[in-house]
Structure 1
Amino acid sequence: MENMPVAVIGGGPIGLAAAAHLIDRGIAVRVYEAGDAVATNIRDWGHVHLFSPWRYNIDPVSRMLLAGTGWREPNADMCPTGADLVADYLEPLSQVPAMASAIEFGARVTAIGRSGIDKISSRDRSGHPFLLSVASRAGVVRRDLARAIIDASGTWTSPNPLGGSGLPADGEATHAKRIAYGIPDVLGRDRAAYAGRTTLVFGAGHSAANVLLDLQALSLEATGTQAIWVTRGSDLSRVYGGGSNDQLSGRADLGQCLKEQVEGGQIPLITGFAAETIREEDGRLHVEGTTTYGRRTIGPADRIVVCTGQRPDLALTREIRVDLDPRLESVRALGPMIDPNLHSCGSVPPHGHREVSHPEPGFYTVGIKSYGRAPTFLMLTGYEQVRSVVAAIAGDMGAANDVRLILPETGVCRANPSSPAACCDSASSLPPPAVSEVGAVPDQKSGCCRASAAEPMPAPARTCCASAT
């Protein structure tokens, strides 16, 4: 099997970083990207800015591959959009000859097994190569062999449904054309769908915050535009953020701006609502559900945006032995470290090949998929994961075990004191942030400060959302 390639599933930043490390170590690699170009998922939210500047968004070994191609590294102090990340980094990286020859576009891995044995068989599993079922754009299915697999396919294409039970709400499929998942481009390509209309936004994370603030900005330009925010829980501390204690100023300002818009009455808020049914009446949508005070109906509205997170596609690994956290569907070792029920500070202990491996020898889950349903993944975490994993595949266990990862605190901690994963250590002990996450940008049209981390702001500037009007 030494002559077989390592299969990397997914051509996003973490998948390409894994491929770069394999190329650097002289290990054959095959990257399977379901889309027609790299980073298909990121292109879907290309209008959104990251929280952190360029200096923290580029994998070191990928930078080395690019260095000899004439590539011009972006300004280290500027914060890119998702589109910038693709155009100025990921696309050039995919065109490096060694990388370009390793990537296959329009190749969707639909199932994984072991050649010659099924999931039940235990004898000499590591002696049987992996068998990947790969579907082409034309629907033709073939079987490929691999010595190891790095699954960096992400979770973006598997959004959680609207239903508060975790199942789709009744009527969710029926009204699918009027429901968006993730972060629609309200001020750009999707503007016509939202201008002059009322939109219900479900979710309590940063994706919901971006959509809500974009809709509020649109309301200043298009009469009749209204956003109504609906959350399942009532604790909004994670999305509102830790203010000056947050080590990513862009994230802090996003939360602060949203909080001030809600408290000022511009964005109506309904908390503690679990959606059950969507129905149409007189051409408009009504959502029925339960609260702690009984049943309630929200509406009428014209559109619904569901920002309730994503979940991993477990069908892909049904025929191999994976070990998942029963709550988050993350790799089991990470579950207690990232469970939002236990803490919310955004920190996770250093982890590498051991934590993202499974009982199936040679199979690794990396990137945001390793976090399952948890919402706190940061790009730098994935870069360190694949560095360690590739070192382990290469047999360099010294490098594989030398894992170093320090992430910035959010300034919000809801740690369970009885949990060993408690994370309320002083944020001041950490170095400057070195991470990437979907974030916010200054928006002059809305009159609301949505600053990015491109230019660090002094503490008094954190009050810009209150004073902008």
Structure 2
Amino acid sequence: MRHDLQHSDLPVVVIGAGPVGLAAAAHLLERGVTPLVLEAGPSVGAAVAQWGHIQTFSTWAYNTDAAAVRLLEAAGWAAPNPKRLPTGRELVKDYLEPLAATPAIAAHVRTGHRVVAVTRAGLDKTRARDRAEAPFLVRTEAHGADGADGVEQDLEARAVIDASGTWGLPNPVGPGGLEAVGERATRAAGVVTSALPDVLGADRARFAGRTVLVIGAGHSAANTVLSLGRLAAEAEGTRVIWGLRGDDPSAVYGGEERDGLPARGALGARLRTMVAAGRIEVRTGFRVLGTRTTAEDRLTVRADERGEDTELEVDLLVPATGFRPDLGMLRELRLDLDPAFEAPRELAPLIDPEFHSCGTVPPHGAELLAHPEEGFFIVGMKSYGRAPTFLMATGYEQVRSIAAHLAGDTEAAARLELDLPETGVCSTDAGSCCDAPAEPQLLGIPTGLAHGRNGLATERA
């Protein structure tokens, strides 16, 4: 018996109520398949809300899923201006929250339910006999849900779609993929910030007049460095240090005026100008080895800087070093992951950032994302593992195909419906070429005008 017909009385569990997770629910419902969306945060789009002050590279036209829009329009939704660039906050308020509130989806979303493990009911990963016939068992832990903090619950599912993203597991700042010596303690001490702090908004008082070290070479780092550079011009005593592991900061500037996404190109151009003006101090060949707090609640950073040991004392460290997938909850499943990128093995060669940028990764669906664990799929940003070039529109195509597969429509599952164009010059050395840029006012671009003909957004959850 085909797996997609097994346990049809059970729901398909979708882990994560971000853009791709809710799109998965919309596609499943259109196919007559019952979803159950489990969100760890207190509300839908909880991870997106944490970078709510940031605008995407792309316009509203590329940030919504077709099945989701059909549900929203049926509920009387007023679509945002398709030519505007939404912030993360607007993405949640004007799209994800209304989508989750539609009658079709509202009954199938549970917030405050963190998935801590996925397995097969009664079978650990060493057991092969009748494995595909056993339902999935999904263990959740309640957080802030009706006062049931810490309460565990086991749920059964006919299939599982993991759209939990990577936001919750930032990469360490240390060498070789490890935490720097002392990094865990300094994070706990509060001198290490989130990856995308709201420097010019809610977090302004924390940064004004301080010495701040930003580590990272992607657009998340560039965004924060630009905001800090502006703050330095407004708040006396603010010093901005940008630590790059590489030897050439120009790699981060990307295509500038040649970029197919004007907002992304303007980010690089403005960054180059600010560095040239001396508002930002760049330290290249800078590899963090250790961190420790001082008696004055500051942070001492020990680094290998161009082959020489050095120490730098700062007030705050921003770890804009990207994210990685949390695979711990999937330990009892049979996965086929690329050993380098921790992405599905067949997908990994197509997303290698040394060879591919945002727009050069071909659309893909259920077949490419399949694992030996039949009926289990990783989608969205998490499907790319450690590769940073994910596009939200790609995630929407992933779940469209998977929903068709789970409904038994193999023809629709195999058909690729996303026509993804090349998104201009995108420096794969930047570390996160599809990241969200700085606010348009930082880039000198009027809101609503900073969009490209090929603009596509990245997902952060």
TM-score over 0.5 (shorter chain): yes
CA contact (8 A) 1:379 1:436 kept: no
Name 1:422's counterpart in structure 2. Answer: none
Residue 159 in 1 paired to residue 170 in 2? yes
Matches within 5 A, 1:431-446: 437-443=435-441
2:197 counterpart of 1:187: no
Contact 1:164–1:232 at 8 Å: present in 2 too? no
CA distance in 2, matches of 1:302, 1:111: 38
Structure-2 residue corresponding to 1:227? 240
Matched, 1:362 2:375: yes
Question: Contact 1:325–1:331 (CA<8 Å) still a contact in 2?
Answer: yes
1:328 and 2:328 equivalent? Answer: no
Cα offset for 1:11?
0.2
Matched, 1:25 2:31: yes
Distance between the aligned counterparts of 1:185 and 1:112, measured in 2? 35
**Residue 222 of structure 1: CA displacement?**
1.1
**Contact 1:163–1:275 (CA under 8 A) maintained in structure 2:** yes
Answer whether contact 1:52 1:436 (CA < 8 A) is retained: no
Alignment partner, residue 449 of structure 1: 444
Q: Deviations over 1:216-243 (max 9, x none)?
A: 1111221111211001122445531112
For the pair 1:113 / 2:126, whether they are aligned, the reply is no
Q: CA–CA distance in 1 between the matches of 2:281 and 2:46?
A: 33
**Take 1:241 and 1:452, find their aligned partners in 2: how far apart are those partners?**
22
- Looking at structure 2, the residues matched to 109 and 72 of structure 1 have their Cα atoms a distance apart, in angstroms, of 33
Matched letter for residue 206 of structure 1 = H
Equivalents in 1 of 2:452, 2:105: separation in Å? 38
5 Å-filtered alignment, 1:239-258, equals: 239-258=252-271
Give the distance between the partners of 2:88 and 2:278, measured in 1 at CA.
31
Deviation string, structure 1 residues 32-71 (Cα, Å, up to 9, x no partner): 0011110100000000001111111110110000112121
Equivalent in the alignment of 1:209: 222
Residue number in structure 2 paired with 1:198? 211
Out of 160, 167, 171, which is 1:149 matched to?
Answer: 160
Matching of residues 62-461 of structure 1 within 5 Å: 62-137=68-143, 138-176=149-187, 177-236=190-249, 238-281=251-294, 283=296, 284-297=298-311, 299-344=312-357, 346-403=359-416, 404-412=418-426, 437-443=435-441, 449=444, 454-456=449-451
1:362-411 CA deviation, whole Å, 9 max, x = no partner? 00000000011111111111001101111111111111111134143341
User: Structure 1, residues 249-295: CA drift from partner, whole Å, max 9, x if none?
Assistant: 11111111112211222111111211111134462322112244332
Write the deviation string for residues 150-170 of structure 1: whole angstroms up to 9, x where unpaired.
000000010011112211112
Q: Mean alpha-carbon deviation: is it higher for 218-227 or for 312-321?
A: 218-227
Residue matched to 2:457:
none
Structure 1, 399-408 or 148-157: larger mean CA deviation: 399-408
Moved more, 399-408 or 105-114: 399-408
Residue type at the aligned position of 1:102: H
Conservation of the 8 A alpha-carbon contact between 1:51 and 1:452: no
Q: Please list every run of 5 or more consecutive structure 2 residues that lacks an aligned counterpart in the other structure.
A: 1-6, 144-148, 454-461
Aligned-residue CA RMSD in angstroms? 2.0
Deviation at 1:413, TM superposition (A): 5.8
Structure-2 separation of matches of 1:305 and 1:372? 22
Aligned-residue identity in percent: 47
1:421 — aligned with what? none
